[in-house]
Amino acid sequence: MSETDDRAVELLAFLAERGVEPGAAGKAEAEAFASQLIADGRNTPEVFEELGIWAFRAGHRRLSIALLELVDCHYALGRLAEVVEADHGPAARTSVFAEPEPPVGSPESVRCGHALRIAENLAETIGREAAGRAWFQVQHGITDDEWRGSDEKDRALFESSGSIDEYLDRKRAARDEFLTRLNAEDRPWYTTAITDEVLAFILADPEMETPRRDGDTVYVTKVPYRASDYLRAVDETEKRSAACHCPLIRDAIRDGRAISPEVCRCSLGHASHYLAGLGVPLEGEVLESAAKGDLRCRFAFRLPPRLVPR
């Protein structure tokens, strides 16, 4: 048996001891199992990722999502620390990150509390404008090396297009084809189930997850993280929580805690890669975000004059 098989057997035994069927297990069980791995010093990101993949293949979708969420954006604060040190020096990093990061696999509520304190420390140490620039570079903790492959493909797509509008139309067509295929195969998009309802919702919005140009500005709206819950939610707080992709702040939305507005520039930086094909740095703005009270997350990027059709 492989190490993943051994861990899966251990997880199944853990659930059996608690009288929980794997198909019924979710966030609470994943966090409880994670606490056991933390105590044993076996809580690496790879362990949770491998178990999440195993659970999906075994048909335990709720459990799979819960396991993968334990390490979602795990590298974000480490990336933020690197950016702060590079731009503002070791002393600033030490000041902002004086508090140790919670162990890998910690509950989302614990990660959220820590992240909120880091965000405020950052703003107090280097100022809110500089903090926004730092968060922009975090981009969900994805490194430049990890972005390179998709960015190069996007660049090739732009170079083979006759105009920026053709480029954006081709990206939208690729989005539609990809999500329609996931729907037909009953496969999630990362952790988002692409149900018939969700698919129709996304396809009806030309700027959802795919940029839409209006004059010299390009707009992007994020697909809600828990899209099915988002569409069903009546309560605004629940809708905002379902919209938010960030495991570092979702609990704060649910609890009504204050969130530093600069944090959402992390997602703005992530969204900037949707336009990586243009090969130019873009000035971006967070127009709406669930963290600051809106029902969706929406960004705008200003195009350089030479890319705007006459």
- Is 269 within the bounds of a domain? yes
Q: Judge if 148 and 294 occupy the same domain.
A: yes
Q: Judge if 175 and 279 occupy the same domain.
A: yes
- Is 189 within the bounds of a domain? yes
> What DSSP designation does 101 have?
P
Domain that holds residue 45: 3-69
- Is 216 within the bounds of a domain? yes
- Is 157 within the bounds of a domain? yes
With a pLDDT cut of 70, the percent of the chain lying above it is 99
Q: Judge if 201 and 58 occupy the same domain.
A: no
> What DSSP designation does 253 have?
H
pLDDT tens string 264-307? 999 999 999 999 999 998 989 999 999 999 999 999 999 999 99
- Is 84 within the bounds of a domain? no
Which of 37, 69, 101 represents a domain boundary (last residue)? 69
- Is 296 within the bounds of a domain? yes
Q: What average pLDDT does the segment 71-85 reach?
A: 95
- Is 52 within the bounds of a domain? yes
Q: Judge if 41 and 165 occupy the same domain.
A: no
Quickly tell me which residue has 């609990």 as its tokens: 251
Q: Judge if 299 and 154 occupy the same domain.
A: yes
- Write down the pTM of the prediction: 0.93
- Is 114 within the bounds of a domain? no
Looking at the structure of the chain, the number of domains it has is 2
pLDDT tens string 154-178? 999 999 999 999 999 999 999 999 9
Distance of alpha carbon 123 from alpha carbon 288, whole angstroms: 20
Q: What average pLDDT does the segment 237-251 reach?
A: 95
For the chain, state the CA radius of gyration. Answer: 20
User: C-alpha dihedral over 84, 87, 89, 94, to 10 degrees?
Assistant: -10
pLDDT tens string 27-77? 999 999 999 999 999 999 999 999 999 999 999 999 999 999 999 999 999
